[in-house]
Amino acid sequence: MASAISNPSLSKPSPFPSFDSLKPSCRTTLQISTNYRKTTPHRPLQITNTLSEPKPKSTATKIATVPKNPTTPETFISRFAPDEPRKGADILVEALEREGVTNVFAYPGGASLEIHQALTRSSTIRNVLPRHEQGGIFAAEGYARASGRTGVCIATSGPGATNLVSGLADALLDSVPIVAITGQVPRRMIGTDAFQETPIVEVTRSITKHNYLVLDVEDIPRIVREAFFLASSGRPGPVLIDVPKDIQQQLAVPVWNQPIGLAGYVSRLPKSPLEIHLEQIIRFISEAKKPVLYVGGGCLNSSEELRRFVELTGIPVASTLMGLGAFPCPDELSLHMLGMHGTVYANYAVDKSDLLLAFGVRFDDRVTGKIEAFASRAKIVHIDIDSAEIGKNKQPHLSICADIKVALKGINSLLEKKGTKLKLNFSAWREELKEQKIKYPLSFKTFGEAIPPQYAIKVLDELTNGNAVISTGVGQHQMWAAQWYKYKGPRQWLTSGGLGAMGFGLPAAIGAAVAKPDAIVVDIDGDGSFIMNVQELATIRVENLPVKIMLLNNQHLGMVVQWEDRFYKANRAHTFLGNPSKESQIFPDMLKFAEACDIPSARVTKKGELREAIQKMLETPGPYLLDVIVPHQEHVLPMIPSGGAFKDVITEGDGRSTY
> Active-site residue numbers?
133, 195-196, 245, 559
Give the phi and the psi of residue 40 in degrees, each rounded to 5: -70, 145
Residue 85 gets the label, from left (phi > 0), alpha (psi -120 to 50) or beta, of beta
Residues 602 and 616: beta-carbon distance below 8 Å? yes
CA atoms within 13 A on the CB side of 8: 5
- Measured CA to CA, the distance from residue 433 to residue 289 in angstroms comes to 13
Q: Could you tell me the end-to-end alpha-carbon distance of the chain, in angstroms, rounded to an integer?
A: 65
Crossing angle of helices 505-515 and 536-543, in 10° steps, is: 20
Sign, CA torsion 484/490/496/499: positive
Residues 317 and 296: beta-carbon distance below 8 Å? no
What residues does 401 pair with on adjacent strands? Answer: 384
Cα-based torsion angle of the residue sequence 393, 397, 402, 404 in order, rounded to the nearest 10 degrees: -90
Beta strands in 196-333 (DSSP E): 210-213, 238-244, 251-252, 291-295, 317-319
The residue type at 634: E
Which uninterrupted H or E stretch holds 379? strand 379-384
Crossing angle of helices 453-464 and 607-619, in 10° steps, is: 40
Q: Which residues contact 388 (CB under 8 A, 6 or more apart)?
A: 17, 18, 20, 21
- Measured CA to CA, the distance from residue 637 to residue 565 in angstroms comes to 13
- Measured CA to CA, the distance from residue 428 to residue 290 in angstroms comes to 9
- Measured CA to CA, the distance from residue 556 to residue 133 in angstroms comes to 26
Q: How many helices (H) and strands (E) does the chain have?
A: 23, 20
Beta strands in 50-125 (DSSP E): 86-87, 103-106
The residue type at 382: H
- Measured CA to CA, the distance from residue 16 to residue 14 in angstroms comes to 5
Residues 477 and 492: beta-carbon distance below 8 Å? no
